[in-house]
Amino acid sequence: MLTVFNYVWNYYLNLMLTKNHYLTLLCAVFMLSLNTIAQSDQPTDGKAIKYRRSSLHLILSESDNFPMKDTVIASYRKAPFPDKYNNHAIDVNSFVPSEYLLTDAERDSLGIKQAGAGADLAADLTMGISDPLADDMPFMLQKFMKDKKVAHKMVANWFMRNPEDGSFDMSMIAERGSYNASELDVNMAKGSARGLASIADAGVELIQNTFVVVNRLNFISNEVPARIIRDAAKLGAAKMPGLAGELASTAADVAYEKAKEGYSVFATSYLFQLEWNDSTEAVFYNDYWVNKGDANGAARAEAFFNNDLFKMKYIGSEKSKALVTFSLKQQRSEIEYIEEATVRAVDNVYGKLQKAYEVFKPKVPLLTGEPITAKIGMKEGLEGGEKFEVLEQTVDLATGETKYVRVGTITVDKKKIWDNRYVAGTTPPPAAVEATAEVAPVEGAPAEGAEAATAEDTDKKKKGNEEEASSDPNLDRTYFKGGKNLYAGMLIRQIK
């Protein structure tokens, strides 16, 4: 019971911090760079910058029951796709946990404790704040992905597999990597050294950076944890002598009245990456590749899905929550409030995944070099002062491989951050239009790179920072300080 109380108490403190109401009273009781064809900082209408993004597919865990479930799920489905990634959609879109529960034998072999041990009471008291499947979930998802052949389907999607004859082509690789599609197809057939180098480069640059995120959502009334903490605080107050006890009891009632308002949307996201390396690539091309009209095409096509070559690797998970409160000053419906909170909770957890896991950090092109701007903002978790490295994309003439060279660092201007967070009932910000100058990699430049450090995300509410940062509601980009000789198209990546 003490563990349950501590869990709810910690949640309640976080809630009070978020709402900033009467916390001190309760405490008394009881977080490319690329060279342009024409190096211009003045965007022109028409075409967006072409650069190599990571690719992403989203899956929703839909079986959990919670209040306003239909509204929350509909809000999730209405949310814009994360614009810093290519949409690598396949036909596996939902996950039902009850179909992939771990057996006792599986749990023993994995060395994890019994699911739900000591968590049922907590789940009842907090209406789902605690998750009895939390420890099992990564392993359940791996079972699910193996059963549904998610990795195989992600690879098939990359190579535009024809379901009728199993043949592949390079059109998506060419489009997303700015390669010549016909040249790639010819090089695949001939096996030329230069062609294979381009194909290997595509594997490292594109296929290796393929991800799946599984999202779980929950929605609870804030009254439940608020009541639990109030009752516990009043029990403590009853043991205090005289006036002290009365003041403590009154403080608990006041804090409860403030904290019980509204709801909270919770989002938990699990990140997986497609395993793709030299050996996987070699086996795929040698054993499973099918050209149109191949004599052995039927056998290879059948073998493609009947192997364990392709796998999804679990990277990690993050959690986020958003508060839903209602204001009489704004003419908005309850559904719009819930929609906005749901989308922001999901966007926030994507931002936390990007900060926590190096492989998932997106590269973003500069929109202009003077002043230094980019289409990234509060939705991605910017608060001011974050540090980004500026990268120049180069091609090694000897190997044909793409490399990234750090050419400088820049810092987010705290007073000029774009508020691109989702607002229900409005058109989403045009974040996908990130720049308008077309760019190309530099051939023959030094093939050196720099490692980026993992950013620490404290997930603290910093309302003052947001107010100061959004001084101009008309901002459509974020401004940076500190760089020299930069121009549109250079890629940036957060390092601190």
- Positions in the chain whose pLDDT score sits under 50: 1-9, 11-13, 15-47, 117-128, 186, 189-190, 192-194, 429-470
Q: Which of 203, 211, 209, 210 is nearest to 402 (CA)?
A: 203
Q: Which of 352, 310, 359 is nearest to 457 (CA)?
A: 352
CA 135 to chain centre: 20
C-alpha torsion angle, residues 169, 172, 177, 179 (rounded to 10) = 40
Q: What is the pLDDT of residues 381-423, one digit of tens each?
A: 899 999 999 998 887 777 767 788 999 999 999 999 999 988 8
| Beta pairing, strands 312-324 & 94-95 | unpaired
- By three-state DSSP, how is residue 106 classified? helix
pLDDT score, position 464: 44
User: Distance between CA atoms of 362 and 432, rounded to whole angstroms?
Assistant: 13
pLDDT score, position 402: 77
Amino acid at 386: E
pLDDT score, position 456: 32
Handedness of CA 386, 387, 392, 393 (dihedral sign): negative
| Whether the Cβ atoms of residue 345 and residue 320 lie closer than 8 Å to each other | yes
pLDDT score, position 88: 97
pLDDT score, position 179: 62
- By three-state DSSP, how is residue 324 classified? strand
**Token pair of 48, please?**
């967006």
H or E element that contains 359: none
- By three-state DSSP, how is residue 211 classified? strand
Q: Tell me 49's DSSP state.
A: P
| Whether the Cβ atoms of residue 339 and residue 424 lie closer than 8 Å to each other | yes
Q: What is the pLDDT of residues 157-197, one digit of tens each?
A: 999 999 999 999 888 888 887 665 555 554 554 454 445 55
> Residue 403: beta bridge partners?
394
Backbone dihedral angles phi then psi of residue 82, each to the nearest 5 degrees: -55, 115
Residue matched to tokens 């209405």: 78
**Token pair of 456, please?**
């620490």
- By three-state DSSP, how is residue 482 classified? coil
CA 36 to chain centre: 29
b or e along 162-201 (b: 16 or more beta carbons within 10 Å of the residue's beta carbon)?
eeeebbbbbebbbebbebeeeebbebbeeeeeebbbbbbb
CA 87 to chain centre: 13
| Whether the Cβ atoms of residue 303 and residue 246 lie closer than 8 Å to each other | no
pLDDT score, position 261: 81
The model's pTM is 0.76
| Whether the Cβ atoms of residue 285 and residue 224 lie closer than 8 Å to each other | no
For 136-194, the DSSP string reads THHHHHHHHHHHTTHHHHHHHHHTT--TTT----SHHHHHHHT--HHHHHHHHHHT-HH
Residue matched to tokens 């070559």: 309
Q: How many CB atoms lie within 10 A of CB 105?
A: 8
| Whether the Cβ atoms of residue 130 and residue 9 lie closer than 8 Å to each other | no
User: Distance between CA atoms of 143 and 16, rounded to whole angstroms?
Assistant: 38
| Whether the Cβ atoms of residue 102 and residue 247 lie closer than 8 Å to each other | no
Q: Tell me 112's DSSP state.
A: -
H or E element that contains 394: strand 387-395
User: Distance between CA atoms of 129 and 225, rounded to whole angstroms?
Assistant: 9
Report in angstroms the alpha-carbon separations of 363 from 192, 318, 390, 419.
31, 20, 9, 19
pLDDT score, position 328: 53
Half-sphere exposure of 336 (CA within 13 A, CB side): 10
**Token pair of 467, please?**
């107010």
Q: How many CB atoms lie within 10 A of CB 380?
A: 26
| Whether the Cβ atoms of residue 392 and residue 445 lie closer than 8 Å to each other | yes
